[in-house]
């Protein structure tokens, strides 16, 4: 179906205010919700937080009356949308259960984006980050069980594997090495622009969620685990945002933000199976079309350019959720040794120079141990082994994957060695 967001009629921005009961009333049932309804809810919260943040940033650099009016009116709407979406989380969903949802978003969203990304370099960057979030899901899964007795599969509902990957202790870098080459705003496709903006919003909110909630647990190693993974999410925001062309003006970025919101709500509306959520996506799509119309008008006036040059004339699909096990397995088997190169490129462990600057960062951060390694020692203490949930063939490969994925240099003193891992992998985990 063809859908040109610039030609569709939305709700005028003056008519978008809603009332408290409508803003805050909806909650899903954590036992019944489809895992991909939850991932949509988590992602759209991130999209709204980014939209709201960006508009405040724009306002602080803006001295144009009409633009300030558009920003003032729509900031309030983005904020109301954010409340409605985020507050669908029920109060009995624990921080760790929500956290598993966040990492499921990261894995299955990034895998979808990578497969639909026309730019090879951007795709390679998505695949690089994908394996890291995949390892986070594995580490947090141990905690969901240890703290709440939760089987992580109850959250991911057999759609996403739970499996070790490039070990989290190796995700810490010299943050300068994370900076990537950016696309060219004149030649990049709208799909690339929307893909990147969607992922930045998701990763940023993941970071914010860990920042705001990791301290809510009393267990010291779990607090440190949240701190450690939060640091990687900072690197992910840093990495993905650097892919976008920094010479896009505020007006161009505003246009892209509204278009990204339209595309995401459009996809959510198309895909949604939850009767409570579907009308929300439909309403917010209509609101975002109103925002987009305004942003496009301002862009034309201030930049004297046609908005179609930036966002094209077709909707793009940035957030379709479906099981990506096969794709992720393939990347896992082929790219677990990958590391950041020194020239905004990628390399492998065996080719790292002795003075690779991330070694220093890792030695400092993991000096007294890596909490995500300690996590595995703790679950082994309690249950003889770790939780992994995947098909048998992949489960059997875990020790081999660890051997390939773990850097020999700059290892944390409490690293689970390949020998230790082999021994524990011969046990069976009993829930
Ligand atoms: Fe919004
Ligand atoms: Fe993550
Ligand atoms: Fe991430
Ligand atoms: Fe918006």
DSSP codes joined into one string, 300-330: HHHH-S-THHHH-SS----------HHHHHH
Query: Does 404 map to a domain?
Result: no
Non-local (6+) Cβ contacts of 157 within 8 A are: 34, 35
Ligand 3 mean position to 356 CA, how many Å? 22
Cβ proximity of 315 and 5 under 8 Å: yes
Query: Does 81 map to a domain?
Result: yes
Cβ proximity of 142 and 119 under 8 Å: no
List, for residues 81-120, the tens digit of each pLDDT value: 999 999 999 999 999 999 999 999 999 999 999 999 999 9
Q: Is the pLDDT of residue 295 over 90?
A: yes
What percent of the chain shows pLDDT beyond 70?
100
Instruction: List the shell of residues around ion ligand 2, using CB closer than 5 Å.
Output: 106, 133, 136
Query: Does 393 map to a domain?
Result: no
Ligand 4 mean position to 233 CA, how many Å? 24
Total residues belonging to the chain: 431
The alpha-carbon radius of gyration of the chain (Å, integer) is 22
| Mean pLDDT computed over 318-332 | 98
Ligand 4 mean position to 74 CA, how many Å? 7
Confidence (pLDDT) at 1: 59
Query: Does 352 map to a domain?
Result: no
| Mean pLDDT computed over 63-91 | 98
72: helix, coil or strand? helix
Ligand 3 mean position to 205 CA, how many Å? 10
Ligand 3 mean position to 42 CA, how many Å? 13
Ligand 4 mean position to 112 CA, how many Å? 23
What integer best gives the mean pLDDT of the chain?
A: 98
Ligand 4 mean position to 291 CA, how many Å? 5
Query: Does 369 map to a domain?
Result: no
Q: Is the pLDDT of residue 431 over 90?
A: yes
Confidence (pLDDT) at 252: 98
Ligand at minimal distance from the CA of 292 is 4
Ligand 3 mean position to 206 CA, how many Å? 7
Cβ proximity of 105 and 43 under 8 Å: yes
Structural domain containing residue 76: 13-327
Q: Is the pLDDT of residue 250 over 70?
A: yes
List, for residues 184-203, the tens digit of each pLDDT value: 999 999 999 999 999 999 99
Cβ proximity of 235 and 168 under 8 Å: no
Q: Is the pLDDT of residue 303 over 70?
A: yes
Q: Which pair of tokens denotes residue 265? A: 């709500």
List, for residues 5-21, the tens digit of each pLDDT value: 999 999 999 999 999 99
Query: Does 2 map to a domain?
Result: no
Query: Does 236 map to a domain?
Result: yes
Ligand at minimal distance from the CA of 109 is 3
Query: Does 159 map to a domain?
Result: yes
Q: Is the pLDDT of residue 2 over 90?
A: no
Ligand 1 mean position to 427 CA, how many Å? 48
Ligand 1 mean position to 198 CA, how many Å? 13
Phi and psi, residue 345, nearest 5°? -120, -165
- What distances in angstroms separate CA 77 from CA 14, 253, 294, one per listed residue? 10, 18, 14
Ligand 2 mean position to 315 CA, how many Å? 28
- For residue 348, what are the β-bridge partners? 338
Rounded (10°) angle between helices 325-335 and 120-148:
110
Q: Is the pLDDT of residue 315 over 70?
A: yes
Split into its structural domains, the chain has a count of: 1
Confidence (pLDDT) at 91: 97
Q: Which pair of tokens denotes residue 420? A: 């230790």
Q: How confident is the model at residue 128 (pLDDT cuts 50, 70, 90)?
A: very high
């Amino acid at each position: 179906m063809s859908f040109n967001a610039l030609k569709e009629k939305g709700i005028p921005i003056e008519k978008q205010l809603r009332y408290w009961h409508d803003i805050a009333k909806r909650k899903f049932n954590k036992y019944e919700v489809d895992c991909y309804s939850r991932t949509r809810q988590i992602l759209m919260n991130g999209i709204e937080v980014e939209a709201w943040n960006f508009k405040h940033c724009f306002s602080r650099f803006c001295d144009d009356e009409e633009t300030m009016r558009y920003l003032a009116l729509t900031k309030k709407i983005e904020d109301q949308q954010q409340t409605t979406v985020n507050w669908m989380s029920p109060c009995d969903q624990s921080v760790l259960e929500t956290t598993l949802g966040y990492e499921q978003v990261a894995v299955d969203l990034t895998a979808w984006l990578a497969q639909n990304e026309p730019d090879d370099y951007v795709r390679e960057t998505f695949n690089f980050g994908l394996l890291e979030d995949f390892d986070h899901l594995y580490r947090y899964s141990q905690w969901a069980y240890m703290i709440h007795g939760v089987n992580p599969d109850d959250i991911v509902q057999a759609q996403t594997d739970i499996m070790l990957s490039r070990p989290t202790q190796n995700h810490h870098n010299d943050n300068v090495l994370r900076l990537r080459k950016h696309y060219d705003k004149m030649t990049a496709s709208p799909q690339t622009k929307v893909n990147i903006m969607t992922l930045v919003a998701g990763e940023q909110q993941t970071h914010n969620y860990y920042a705001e909630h990791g301290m809510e647990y009393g267990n010291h190693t779990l607090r440190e685990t949240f701190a450690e993974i939060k640091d990687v999410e900072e690197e992910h925001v840093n990495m993905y945002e650097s892919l976008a062309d920094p010479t896009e003006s505020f007006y161009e970025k505003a246009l892209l933000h509204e278009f990204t919101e339209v595309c995401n709500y459009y996809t959510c509306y198309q895909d949604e199976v939850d009767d409570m959520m579907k009308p929300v996506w439909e309403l917010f799509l209509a609101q975002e079309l109103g925002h987009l119309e305004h942003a496009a008008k301002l862009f034309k006036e201030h930049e004297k350019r046609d908005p179609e040059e930036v966002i094209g004339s077709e909707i793009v699909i940035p957030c379709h959720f479906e099981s990506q096990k096969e794709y992720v397995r393939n990347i896992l088997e082929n790219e677990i040794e990958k590391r950041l190169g020194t020239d905004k490129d990628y390399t492998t462990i065996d080719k790292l120079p002795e003075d690779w600057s991330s070694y220093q960062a890792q030695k400092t951060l993991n000096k007294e141990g890596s909490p995500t390694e300690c996590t595995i020692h703790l679950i082994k203490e309690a249950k003889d082994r770790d939780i992994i949930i995947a098909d048998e063939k992949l489960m059997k490969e875990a020790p081999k994957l660890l051997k390939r994925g773990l850097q020999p240099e700059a290892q944390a003193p409490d690293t689970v060695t390949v020998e230790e891992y082999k021994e524990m992998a011969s046990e069976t985990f009993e829930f």
